[in-house]
Amino acid sequence: MELREFYKRFSLDESLAVGTGHNPYYLRIDSGLDEKIQVNGHEMIDLASNNYLGLATDSRVKQAAIEAVQKYGVSLCGTPIATGYLDLYQRLEEKLASFVGLEEAIILPSCYQANNGLFSSIAGPQDLIIVDRYAHSSLIQGIKAAGSKIRPFLHNNLEHLEGILQRSRGYRQVFVVTESVFSTEGSLAPFKEIVQLCETYRALPIIDDSHGIGVLGKSGRGILEEQRIEGYQGIYTASLGKALANSGGMISGKKGLIDYLKYYCPHLVYSTALTPSVLAGTEAVLSIIQSEFGVIKQRLVTYQQAIYESLIEGGFTLAASEAPINSIQSGSKESTFILAKKLYEQGILCTAFIEPSVPVGDGRVRLIAGANLRQETVAEVAEIIKRIGRS
Ligand SMILES: Cc1ncc(COP(=O)(O)O)c(C=O)c1O
């Protein structure tokens, strides 16, 4: 094939952005996630990031990161198995495992990488993986790469899941995979019941708690605490880049499995370790959560409620959410972009989800009001939302 022909295959269709006059993606941010952020030179309010607890610019977290840079520099220029396994790394693994109440943990450069690496290390063509049909791309891509048989179950539907489990015989291992909070909606998995079904049918549960860690549970320890799941025997993954306000991904569970992954998970073994500043920053966030979670969570809940009420008053249709997320059902990709544009023009940054992140024609405009915002700012957002709804 001519090279010109090859490259022609990848030209981007910009008609949606051109037609609606707005492209909500790759907006240039010129500041940190402060009360007001700078976007393309304009001051805006951030309801787009996953900075749930508002700790991404917390002075104590920044100070911890700065001190780590001063002591260790900016990179260990190696994988954890070689030169990257800092004392900070080991300490954070121990703290994360104990935070979520499991035996051990490993940390990878991202949760996308953790989810990808996990499945290709533990599953193969002899196995069956049953997965919620709304599961995140990182889980789906990881599962596909493992070459296992895949069966999706209807979103959060226990009856459908059980039906599949009943018919799943003859596999080496059956896994059931889901997320805690489905972030395009805010819906919460009935994970306790899923774990019980797994026990009945001898399947292994795997939960991605990326949007639950630091948010759910009475002390922010995530889905296992939220749903009082004791003695969890399955596997747990989470991102450190959302409520934990840094970056990286963790896999946690039984000691034997985690020790195995330390040597046999290529996505960990062959990838440069997280930077010292991120390791120290995450540790600082964990200690803030341990001392201040109650107060921070209260703000998060109050803000979500205020935004929810303004959206209802503005006549918007919302997805049923059980998390600090408000998600507007915005329909087609055109109407999703247009709604995102209206909010953008009024100084509110939101997240626009269109296919393939959501089913075709079932767009979402998501708003997350982080706990770092002031009450006055949230009130300002609520007024804007009502105005847009009425216009
Ligand atoms: C449910 C879920 N899992 C995994 C990821 C990936 O996490 P990370 O950003 O750490 O790669 C995300 C991020 O969007 C997510 O929402």
Whole-angstrom CA distances from 162 to 74, 206, 236, 387 are 49, 16, 21, 46
- 265 and 315 assigned to the same domain: no
Number of helical (H) and strand (E) elements in the chain, helices listed first: 14, 15
Of the candidates 302, 364, 309, the residue with the CA atom closest to the CA atom of residue 333? 364
Give the span between the Cα atoms of 331 and 378, in whole angstroms: 25
What is the pLDDT, as a whole number, of residue 23? 96
What is the pLDDT, as a whole number, of residue 211? 98
Q: Specify if 257 maps to a domain.
A: yes
Q: Is the CB of 136 under 6 A from ligand 1?
A: yes
Q: Is the CB of 351 under 6 A from ligand 1?
A: no
Q: Is the CB of 112 under 6 A from ligand 1?
A: yes
Query: What's the CATH code of the domain at 355?
Result: 3.90.1150.10
* Sign of the C-alpha dihedral computed for residues 48, 51, 52 and 54 taken in this order: negative
Average pLDDT over residues 113-139: 97
Gap from CA of 210 to ligand 1 centroid (Å): 6
Q: Specify if 68 maps to a domain.
A: no
- 328 and 374 assigned to the same domain: yes
pTM of the entire predicted model: 0.96
Environment class of 57 (CB within 10 Å of its CB; exposed 0-12, middle 13-18, buried 19+): middle
Q: Which H or E run contains 7?
A: helix 3-8
Q: Whose structure tokens read 């774990």?
A: 195
> What are the residues facing 366 on neighbouring strands?
327, 351
Q: Is the CB of 185 under 6 A from ligand 1?
A: no
Does 155 have pLDDT greater than 90?
A: yes
Atom of ligand 1 at shortest range from CA of 138: 4
The per-residue pLDDT of the chain, averaged, comes to: 97
Average pLDDT over residues 284-304: 98
pLDDT confidence band for 11 (50 / 70 / 90): confident
Q: Is the CB of 366 under 6 A from ligand 1?
A: no
- Indicate the residue type of 341: K
Q: Is the CB of 251 under 6 A from ligand 1?
A: no
Does 275 have pLDDT greater than 90?
A: yes
Q: Which H or E run contains 381?
A: helix 375-390
Q: Give the 3-state secondary structure of residue 50.
A: coil
Give the span between the Cα atoms of 84 and 273, in whole angstroms: 5
**Pick from 243, 274, 305: which residue ends a domain?**
274
Q: Is the CB of 138 under 6 A from ligand 1?
A: yes
pLDDT confidence band for 243 (50 / 70 / 90): very high
- 39-43, 220-224, 307-311: which range is least confident on average? 39-43
Q: Is the CB of 88 under 6 A from ligand 1?
A: no
Q: Is the CB of 117 under 6 A from ligand 1?
A: no
Q: Is the CB of 318 under 6 A from ligand 1?
A: no
Q: Is the CB of 209 under 6 A from ligand 1?
A: no
Structure tokens of 11? 């030209």
- 124 and 231 assigned to the same domain: yes
Q: Specify if 1 maps to a domain.
A: no
Whole-angstrom CA distances from 215 to 110, 224, 243, 327 are 19, 12, 7, 17
Gap from CA of 138 to ligand 1 centroid (Å): 7
Half-sphere exposure (Cβ direction) of 165: Cα atoms closer than 13 Å? 23
First and final C-alpha spacing in the chain:
52
Atom of ligand 1 at shortest range from CA of 135: 1
- 216 and 365 assigned to the same domain: no
- 47 and 122 assigned to the same domain: no
- 24 and 155 assigned to the same domain: no
Q: For the chain, give the percent of residues with pLDDT over 70.
A: 100
What is the pLDDT, as a whole number, of residue 390? 87
DSSP letter assigned to residue 318: B
Of the candidates 135, 137, 265, the residue with the CA atom closest to the CA atom of residue 207? 135
Gap from CA of 241 to ligand 1 centroid (Å): 8
Of the candidates 76, 80, 77, 78, the residue with the CA atom closest to the CA atom of residue 261? 80
- 114 and 210 assigned to the same domain: yes
Give the span between the Cα atoms of 226 and 374, in whole angstroms: 27
Q: Is the CB of 249 under 6 A from ligand 1?
A: yes
Decide: 115 and 249 in contact? Cβ < 8 Å. Answer: yes
**Pick from 274, 303, 320: which residue ends a domain?**
274
Q: Specify if 284 maps to a domain.
A: no
- 301 and 225 assigned to the same domain: no
Question: Tens digit of pLDDT for each residue in 306-351?
Answer: 999 999 999 999 999 999 999 999 999 999 999 999 999 999 999 9
**Pick from 240, 274, 308: which residue ends a domain?**
274
Of the candidates 229, 218, 227, 234, the residue with the CA atom closest to the CA atom of residue 174? 234
> What are the residues facing 130 on neighbouring strands?
151, 176
Average pLDDT over residues 185-203: 97
Pocket test residue of 140, 210, 278, 368 for ligand 1, highest count of atoms within 8 A of CB: 210
- 261 and 185 assigned to the same domain: yes
Gap from CA of 141 to ligand 1 centroid (Å): 12
Of the candidates 110, 111, 65, the residue with the CA atom closest to the CA atom of residue 88? 65
What are the φ and ψ backbone dihedral angles of 125, each rounded to 5 degrees?
-60, -20
Gap from CA of 225 to ligand 1 centroid (Å): 20
Whole-angstrom CA distances from 31 to 39, 42, 247 are 8, 11, 18
Average pLDDT over residues 137-151: 96
Q: Is the CB of 183 under 6 A from ligand 1?
A: yes
Q: Specify if 4 maps to a domain.
A: no
Q: Specify if 122 maps to a domain.
A: yes
- 161 and 40 assigned to the same domain: no
Pocket test residue of 138, 244, 271 for ligand 1, highest count of atoms within 8 A of CB: 138
Q: Specify if 287 maps to a domain.
A: no
Does 1 have pLDDT greater than 80?
A: no
Whole-angstrom CA distances from 283 to 15, 279, 302 are 44, 6, 27
Q: Is the CB of 370 under 6 A from ligand 1?
A: no
Average pLDDT over residues 254-280: 97
- 250 and 366 assigned to the same domain: no
Residue 195: domain span: 75-274
Q: Specify if 5 maps to a domain.
A: no
Query: What's the CATH code of the domain at 236?
Result: 3.40.640.10
Q: Number of folded domains in the chain?
A: 2
What is the pLDDT, as a whole number, of residue 342? 97
- 268 and 303 assigned to the same domain: no
